Structure 1
Amino acid sequence: MIGVAGLGKSGISAATLLLKNNEAVVLFDSNKELNKEEILAKFDKAYHKNIDIILGELKKSDLEDMSYLVISPGIDLETDFVQVLKENNIPIWSEIELGFKYAKGGLIAITGTNGKTTTTSLVGEIMSKFAKSSFTVGNIGIPYTDIADKTDEDSVTVLETSSFQLETIIDFRPNISAILNITPDHLNRHHTMENYIKVKEDISKNQTEDDFCILNYEDEALREFADRVKAKVVFFSSKRKLENGFYLDKDIIMQSKDGVAKEILDTKKLNILGRHNYENVMAAIAISSSYGVPIDSIVNSCYAFHAVEHRIEFVKEVNGVRYYNDSKGTNPDAAIQAVLAMPAATYIIAGGYDKGSEYDEWIESFGT
């Protein structure tokens, strides 16, 4: 018997995958007002006999035959029922851990405070033209478990991973991992930057020397982390020339091997704005080339790529004023990068809830 906690998109997807693989599942949600019949209706009737539903409180007696529990990323690991699981030695799995158990083929996993969705989308576009079958999933909106049973040995899955998903991985091991940057975010959940950094770095904890890890050289924590990574490290930088790796030289993305550099891409030909997006492009190039995609194919996909919805997305021009939607800029650093990407005087409409971040640098950026 396998437990699944949280009955949103991630939880329903995880439970469905388990049921398809002949597992009995116990669905749990702390919201005791949910309707069990409506929950069951989300599954094929053939599976109903293998489903039990617990709402409100998870008791020790509910755990007797439970092998492990798959937890939805939105559930804080400090909640009471998680403590019950830990006290009774029930392993807690992320939904991406479950996807990894059942999926086949290659796996590329991308994380970072900012730029994940843009980079994941771009790599997904590149892989769609390279692999026999490719899937772009994860925190981008499609659960990994939705497609795990559709993959085969020739597939490549591009997975956007959040810190919440990485908290409960066990054997999860991508062929290529990437950490784009780490700046303060979600401190209301992780409490300290040290905890947040550790969770992000865990994306590569099971990698070996046969794998690759793509890192931002301009992030001090990631430079230090590179010395501890077992996988082969590939750096990218938007501020300095690298002896090995990808870097931005004025408007040109360069690749250097042992100090010998060659031109890869002209950023003026891209359809996305800002230095941070050029970092995303460099990361995508590093990821894709490490996977074996020819550079010419990568560059063509980069030039054809357009901004992802809600990320410095051009909306329209009214009376000479250009409006951009950057509503996915949900932390100070992301908002700063959007401001810096603007080519003219900019007015900002901002709001949201407090995630424990500091706003001084964001406010200072208004004068840049």
Structure 2
Amino acid sequence: MELKDKQVLVVGSGLSGVAATKLLKKVGAFVTIYDSNANVEKDDVLKKFDEKVEFDTIFGEISKEQMANMDLVVLSPGVPTDLPFVNEFRTMNTPIWGEIELAYNFAKGKVVAITGTNGKTTTTALTGSIMEAHFASSFVVGNIGTPYTDMALQTKEDSVTVAEISSFQLETIHEFHPKVSAILNITPDHLNRHHTMENYINTKISITRNQTEEDACILNYEDEELRKAAKNIPAKVIFFSSKSELEEGLFLRKDEIIAKFDGKEEVICNIHELKLLGAHNYENIMAAVGMAMKMDVPMDIIKKTIKEFKAVEHRIEYVDTINDVKYYNDSKGTNPDAAIKAVQAMITPTIVIGGGYDKESSYEEWIASFGDKVRYLVLLGQTKDKIAKTAKKMGFSNIVMVETLKEAVEESTKLANKGDSILLSPACASWGMFKNFEERGDMFKQYVNELK
């Protein structure tokens, strides 16, 4: 879609909205930034730009006359797609894009796109490292830190862009067409946004919507929903599994990751050669290997890169050992399934720090995963009472309630024995107490350092 001299409404004045505005101005569009918060001022938005950019603003209510003037609406990921004013744009037949669709409209080269409830950031970073080691021009974008819209105009015909994509971003794709896609897993998350599990599953699978049989989709064989969906995916499906030996695909056999295609097996690596902790990371590695193979990256480059790759910040990140107690930062564990994987990755008695913003999750399976490994659960945030009630109902009563993360670190340290691990893995979002999971993880690391 040609956007020169078009009127575009960018909804949201955060990082995504700012990046979208910069791209739109570079391609000659007239931009109006809209925020439903009437208390926002234009100067507040201008401060977020690192360059001079001209745009109009609407704060608070938006009129039908203002809406009728727009040729395109670009929604930030945090804006629900079922809001009344968004539905009004639909009745006007105004195109509604998200940042992924906007960036894709101007990007060149091939796209490798990764989604899933958990593991996206690690898999994206690893896949990006593999692509960078082989291709002359590669980019890593999305939730991992750099908006796709920031990089779109830098891409070339021979570029490979590795994109981490959330369910929120997938709600607003139309023509987006990855050469290779991956859906790592689907477990309940963001149901306050998607309303039903069926909606959430369909949104995740929509990453394959525009793929063809010449493209590839990497799926987790152990995820029943993905196995069921595979027959309706238009791309060539490649499975990976950490529990089953597959006739074709990538799988774990004892301590080795195996690739089996056309009846031939190849050992990718021994898990003891890896720097990543936990069975879930073996799945992330298999997904990355599958994507790299479908992008024709030589196997020696794939093997070398996965063996050298270290954990992503805030995902079961080792922080320090103080008085023979290890501290791990898993602030990216923003839902129960991610938090379960973090507990499973621990190899010593563990004190878990959990709780945060309520995304209407269920915590039974998380508590059940504690077994004999988790000695205490230290809780804070909006969900602490809900989680405590669930834990006690399930027979886990070693619970300490606190008000702040600093207090949680201090209380956990008092409870720890030599040889224990203290794991921040909240099973909840950070909103309400922190800007994002990164800030929560950074504060945790700061409080740990203050113990010295």
State whether TM-score is above 0.5: yes
Counterpart amino acid of residue 183 in structure 2: I
For 1:121, which of 121, 125, 128 is the aligned residue?
Answer: 125
Q: Please give the per-residue CA displacement for 1:188-225, whole angstroms capped at 9, x wherever unaligned.
A: 11111100000000001010111110000000111111
| 1:94 is aligned to 2:119 | no
Q: Who is 1:213 aligned against?
A: 217
Is residue 128–residue 134 contact of structure 1 (8 Å, CA) maintained in 2? yes
> How many angstroms apart in 1 are the aligned matches of 2:228 and 2:278?
26
- Identity, in percent, stands at 55
CA contact (8 A) 1:106 1:175 kept: yes
What's the secondary structure of 2:251's corresponding residue? strand
Tell me which of the two structures has the higher relative contact order, counting C-alpha pairs closer than 8 angstroms and 6 or more residues apart. 1
Deviation at 1:154, TM superposition (A): 1.4
* Consecutive unaligned residues in structure 2, runs of 5 or more: 1-6, 373-452
Q: Which residue of 2 aligns with 1:2?
A: 8
Structure 2 CA distance for aligned equivalents of residues 233 and 153 of structure 1: 25
After superposition, what is the alpha-carbon deviation per residue over 1:169-198, rounded to whole angstroms, capped at 9, x for unaligned?
Answer: 011111111000000100111111100000
Q: How does 1:245-260 map to 2 (within 5 A)?
A: 245-260=249-264
Cα-Cα RMSD: 1.2
> In structure 1, what is the equivalent of residue 324 of structure 2?
320
| 1:16 counterpart = 2:27 | no
Deviation at 1:40, TM superposition (A): 4.1
Instruction: Pick from 73, 78, 81 the counterpart of residue 77 of structure 1.
Output: 81
Residue 142 of structure 1: aligned partner: 146
Q: Deviations over 1:305-354 (max 9, x none)?
A: 00000100001112222111111101011000111111122111111111
Moved more, 113-122 or 341-350: 341-350
Question: Which aligned pairs between 1:58-207 and structure 2 lie closer than 5 A?
Answer: 58-207=62-211
Matched, 1:336 2:340: yes
Q: Would the aligned equivalents of 1:236 and 1:247 in 2 still touch at CA under 8 Å?
A: yes
1:320–1:12 CA distance, 2 compared to 1 (3 A): same
**Partner of residue 39 from structure 1, selected from 19, 41, 45:** 45
SS at match of 2:369: helix
Residue 259 of structure 1 deviates from its aligned partner by 3.9
1:29 aligns with 2:31: no
Superposition TM-score, scaled by structure 2 size = 0.79
Separation (CA, whole Å) in 2 of partners of 1:34 and 1:362: 39
List 4+ stretches of structure 1 deviating above 6 A: none
Partner of 1:222, secondary structure, is helix
Counterparts of 2:274 and 2:50 in 1: how far apart (Å)?
A: 44
Q: Distance in 2 between matches of 1:159 and 1:302?
A: 18
Partner of 2:358, secondary structure, is coil
Does 1:363 pair with 2:367? yes
Residue 383 of structure 2 corresponds to which residue in structure 1? none
Q: Secondary structure at the match of 2:117?
A: coil
Residue identity opposite 2:152 in structure 1: A
| AA partner of residue 226 (structure 1) | A
Give the Cα–Cα distance (whole angstroms) in 1 for the partners of residues 353 and 15 of structure 2. Answer: 30
User: What amino acid maps onto 2:16 in structure 1?
Assistant: S
SS at match of 1:261: strand
- In the alignment, the residues of structure 1 paired with residue 327 and residue 254 of structure 2 have an alpha-carbon distance, to the nearest angstrom, of 27
